[in-house]
A and B are shown apart, each in its own frame.
Chain A
Amino acid sequence: MGVAIRKTKAELGLADLYQGARRYLPGGEEISAVRAAAFERFTAVGLPHRRVEAWRYTDLRTQMKEAKRLASLPDDAAKTRAREAHDLFAGAGFRKLVIVDGAFVPELSDLANLESGLTIQPMADALAADKPLLSQRLGPVVPDDDPALALNTALAANGVVILVAPGTVLSRPIHVAFVTTNWVATSMFTRSQVNIGTAASATIVESHQGPDGSEYQVNTAMQLVVGDEARIDHIKVVSEGSSALHISSLLANIGARATFNQLGFVAGGSLVRNQLFVHIAGEGTIADIRGGSLLSGTQHADTTLAIEHAAENCQSRETFKAVVGDTARAVFQGKITVSPGAQKTDAKMMSRALLLSDEAEAYSKPELEIFADDVQCGHGTTTGAIDDELLFYLMARGIPPKQAKALLIQAFVGEIIEGAANESVRDALTGAMLGWLGQRE
């Protein structure tokens, strides 16, 4: 074994959190054992740092100074703040489920007239009933020792469980709003589970937000199980407060002949790590995964994607774009693995960064790991500033430089937003982008 490394203040704090909470966390004996094992895995590796390849550009050991205390259950004041919080999807008619400071709040959630075939339950209730949701395995793409996920498994207290029965087509999107209301910095661990049955379809929007200036810490994870011939449109918007630490993991397991559309949009938070582990288990599935990050100030946002083609005849497109201003830093790590036998895989990954200042940074690490011989796989990456020729063309038509740059940024990010099939989602994301551009002026 390696040299024992002295535990950091944050690691000691996390251990305290777990020891203090483990007796109260929902779940019977079986789940307690899963949690204990997960925490042991975390303890073995500690907070990841730059010598851990998967976390190379996001040195959590250095960045995370301490572990904030666990958020308490939201009181009436917190619920009121959550109700009044800005809703990017207001007016879109989505079914809204609200998680306040890490706790599912039924009275703020729209649980009326559930469509037949749709079941919604707080994760805390599911765990209390000892449903084995935390222990599901997802094939080799999720490293057993991923420290963020291990911490989530150990400490997740609540979240939401959404079950869509086979053949159920939900026309009304579901919006899961994670709202942090507390000005006092706390930490929140949430875990959600979404199952889309065979030939069912649903649109799930996740949003994460909280107050600017509060150094709260979010560790959130969602497991997504998509059946054969099913379709899921999953959109995640991270607009956390300016000082927040946000770590999220998406674990997706997708069946055959399914459609998987995933779109991540980051326009907030101080330190964001967005990890996606996608396992395509069945043949003939089509996956479209896109991500857009709009970063300024000293923000750091890391998107790390591992997608595994484990079956034949599947197609995936991975498109990621980052707009990086000031001294912000964007990271994209993308790995496509084609398992033995996954012939006729067609996978293309592209990451592009647009740097708005000389101090802005973008790191891109694409990887292909191919164990089949009849596949089409490729990746590309570009990093550059705004094109002076394009800028001049717009200015020569009378458009002032600031507005011309904004137009070019919109055009750059537009390709990501266009990926959302739902018009209200596109409108909301466009609004978020315009808001971000407006703040820069």
Chain B
Amino acid sequence: MTALLEIKGLHAEIASGRKIIQGLDLTVNKGEIHAIMGPNGAGKSTLSYVLAGKPGYEVTAGEVTLNGEDLLAMSADERAAKGVFLAFQYPLEIPGVATLTFLRAAFNAQRKARGEAELSSPDLIKRVREIAKTLNIDADMLKRPLNVGFSGGEKKRNETLQMALLQPSLCVLDETDSGLDIDALKVVANGVNALRAAERGMIVITHYQRLLDYIVPDIVHVFAAGRIVRTGGADLARELEATGYAQYQSEAA
């Protein structure tokens, strides 16, 4: 097993000084899917932002490496070029930037940062269209401003499209199931499952077990009060669905 992501003794707080992550250890090996489950307010989304490099989150202790490289020393765009992809819980709307323009900018910026040749527009459009087809995204949506007026399902499919196009090595899915009906959930899950690969690792952050029926994890962690309080197999998710998080919240407190 080769470690893809290693988190050791991580402590992080938000700008106001509130401590959110308090001593997190986690190793994600290549080819693994980890689910992180936990009650609201446990710090799950904060973890995703800390991994992606969002300003305003301060790491006060610990280290995070991706393929042995210090992730915390990199800016968000550098991390993306190294293969980190955060699928946002609430993808942002950017009026005036066509979806295709955005995809082209992101794709070629990452290539440039890695010293690879940029892809010509026709080639890129062809590639985007092929992926879009598998996610039931019509060509018209690609011309529209990024996420503007998209339904919840369209936004999540668009996130999945970006992930499939950019081929990251570490996918972090933050509450990807929120706002999705069951049909949309299946489409998105199929898209994510298509990206399962021996070289790729994933962290699926979710409050509910439902998503994990479709994206079946190798390892499930319970995250409470800023650290992992229990780890198990896929069965743990179903157990949590039955028992809830109450015991962990009291344990952590």
- Looking at the assembled complex, report how far the CB atom of B110 sits from the nearest CB atom of chain A, in whole angstroms: 4
- Looking at the assembled complex, report how far the CB atom of B243 sits from the nearest CB atom of chain A, in whole angstroms: 34
**How distant is the Cα of A76 from the Cα of B175 in the complex, in angstroms?**
70
Instruction: Enumerate chain B residues within 8 angstroms of A407, measured Cβ to Cβ.
Output: 97, 101-102, 105
> Is B91 among interface residues, defined by CB-CB distance under 8 A?
yes
Q: Are B81 and A393 in contact (CB under 8 A)?
A: no
B97: which of A392, A400, A410 is its contact (CB, 8 Å)?
A410
Q: Are B102 and A397 in contact (CB under 8 A)?
A: yes
A395: which of B76, B94, B107, B166 is its contact (CB, 8 Å)?
B76
**How distant is the Cα of A412 from the Cα of B96 in the complex, in angstroms?**
7
- Interface residues in A, total, Cβ within 8 A: 22
Instruction: Enumerate chain A residues within 8 angstroms of B219, measured Cβ to Cβ.
Output: none
> Of the 9-residue stretches B28-36, B50-58, B178-186, B205-213, which lies at the interface with chain A?
B50-58
- Looking at the assembled complex, report how far the CB atom of A279 sits from the nearest CB atom of chain B, in whole angstroms: 32
> Is A120 among interface residues, defined by CB-CB distance under 8 A?
no
User: Chain B 64-85 against A: per-residue CB contact (8 Å), 1 yes, 0 no?
Assistant: 0000000000011101110001
B75: which of A390, A395, A410 is its contact (CB, 8 Å)?
A395
**How distant is the Cα of A50 from the Cα of B206 in the complex, in angstroms?**
59
User: Chain A 400-431 against B: per-residue CB contact (8 Å), 1 yes, 0 no?
Assistant: 11011001101110110000000000000000
Instruction: Enumerate chain A residues within 8 angstroms of B97, measured Cβ to Cβ.
Output: 407-408, 410-411
> Is A389 among interface residues, defined by CB-CB distance under 8 A?
yes
Instruction: Enumerate chain B residues within 8 angstroms of A414, measured Cβ to Cβ.
Output: 96
Q: Are A398 and B88 in contact (CB under 8 A)?
A: no
> Is B139 among interface residues, defined by CB-CB distance under 8 A?
no
User: Chain A 204-229 against B: per-residue CB contact (8 Å), 1 yes, 0 no?
Assistant: 00000000000000000000000000
Q: Are A393 and B94 in contact (CB under 8 A)?
A: yes
- Looking at the assembled complex, report how far the CB atom of B128 sits from the nearest CB atom of chain A, in whole angstroms: 14
Nearest A residue to B79 via CB reads: A396
Nearest A residue to B92 via CB reads: A393
Given A397-B80, A397-B162, A404-B77, A388-B55 contact (CB < 8 Å): yes
**How distant is the Cα of A359 from the Cα of B182 in the complex, in angstroms?**
50
Q: Are A399 and B94 in contact (CB under 8 A)?
A: no
Instruction: Enumerate chain B residues within 8 angstroms of A397, measured Cβ to Cβ.
Output: 77, 80, 102, 106, 109-110, 162, 166
Instruction: Enumerate chain B residues within 8 angstroms of A396, measured Cβ to Cβ.
Output: 52-54, 76-77, 79-80, 85-86, 88
A-B interface, 8 closest residue pairs, ranked by CB to CB distance from nearest: A411-B96, A398-B80, A397-B106, A398-B110, A395-B76, A414-B96, A395-B77, A393-B92
Instruction: Identify 15 residue pairs between A and B in the complex whose beta-carbon atoms are under 8 Å apart, listed by A's number.
Output: A388-B56, A390-B92, A392-B52, A392-B54, A394-B105, A395-B77, A396-B86, A397-B77, A397-B166, A398-B166, A401-B75, A403-B109, A407-B102, A411-B97, A411-B145
